[in-house]
């Protein structure tokens, strides 16, 4: 079984910084990490490989420094890592990102299953996975919390619902996005770390995957983030003195004034 895992590097903090001119996320930082939900996708891919055999390829898009993150992914047991890195990719929204991933996956060729984390912590859109599946023309489902079986070219899994779960059957190749309830991610081993040091990370630019400039980066992004900020919570506390009856009357008056305003 050949499995593809889409992974992303995100800021470790929730305070996202935007470039004041391009309004895109500043990713050239020292505190970037693997998107937490992608670690569950990696772990599930590793478990499927241990059960069914095959190989795992991780794909990411980002700046050259993302190669360090991909080495960490390889240290966990992933066989191959590909980085899509090109200034032309900068500013890509979910649609442009899915397009670039689609072109890369078509270049990779043979695959049975694509696994993504439910969403990325820097955007929380949960759009890339389903968007990618639609572009590839393959079945997909989201919020997967358990894979029951893979046989007869079909995968049976459970996706979280408002009350309980829904059992879904998909014909392979297919794409799923997973939630954290699906497993507990493993840590790197000494052998894995040694392997990752000498591992070759394939780096592809837009021309390598045959991507059109009209569908990548800011040009290919119909949506853009203009501003992001941390809400400013101003809380004012006031104590009401007197007996319980006097406090109740004072509170009632204040509530009436607030209602009028």
List CB contacts of 56: < 8 A, sequence separation 6 or more.
3, 4, 5, 45, 46, 49, 77, 78, 79, 80
CATH class of 2-215: alpha beta
pLDDT of residue 225: 75
What are the boundaries of each domain within the chain? 2-215
pLDDT of residue 30: 60
Sites in the chain below the pLDDT cut of 70: 13-30, 229-230, 258-261
Q: Quote the CA–CA distance of 199 and 202 in Å, as a whole number.
A: 10
For 137-165, what is each residue's pLDDT tens digit?
999 999 999 999 999 999 999 999 988 99
DSSP string, 81-95: EEEE--GGGTT--HH
Q: For the chain, give the longest Cα–Cα distance.
A: 77
pLDDT of residue 227: 73
For 160-210, what is each residue's pLDDT tens digit?
998 899 999 999 999 999 999 999 999 999 999 999 999 999 999 999 999
**Contact predicate 90/27, CB 8 Å:** no
pLDDT of residue 153: 95
């Amino acid at each position: 079984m050949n499995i593809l895992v889409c992974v992303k590097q995100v800021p470790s903090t929730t305070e996202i910084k935007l470039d004041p001119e391009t309004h895109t996320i500043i990713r050239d930082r020292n505190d970037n990490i693997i998107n937490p939900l992608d670690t569950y996708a990696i772990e599930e891919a590793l478990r499927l490989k241990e059960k069914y055999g095959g190989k795992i390829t991780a794909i990411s898009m980002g700046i050259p420094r993302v190669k360090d993150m991909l080495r960490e992914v390889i240290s966990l047991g992933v066989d191959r890592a590909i980085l899509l890195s090109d200034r032309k990719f900068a500013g890509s929204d979910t649609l442009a990102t899915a397009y670039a991933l689609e072109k890369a996956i078509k270049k990779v060729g043979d695959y049975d299953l694509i696994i993504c984390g439910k969403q990325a912590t820097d955007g929380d859109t949960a759009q890339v996975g389903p968007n990618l599946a639609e572009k590839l023309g393959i079945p997909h489902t989201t919020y997967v919390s358990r894979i029951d079986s893979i046989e007869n070219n079909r995968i049976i899994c459970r996706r979280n619902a408002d009350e309980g779960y829904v059992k879904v059957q998909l014909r392979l190749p297919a794409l799923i996005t997973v939630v954290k309830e699906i497993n507990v991610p493993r840590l790197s081993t000494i052998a894995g770390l040694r392997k990752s040091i000498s591992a070759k990370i394939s780096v592809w630019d837009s021309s390598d995957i045959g991507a059109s400039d009209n569908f990548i980066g800011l040009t290919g992004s119909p949506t853009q983030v203009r501003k992001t900020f941390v809400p400013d919570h101003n809380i004012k506390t006031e104590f009401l003195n007197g007996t319980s009856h006097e406090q109740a009357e004072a509170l009632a008056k204040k509530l009436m004034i607030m209602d009028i305003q």
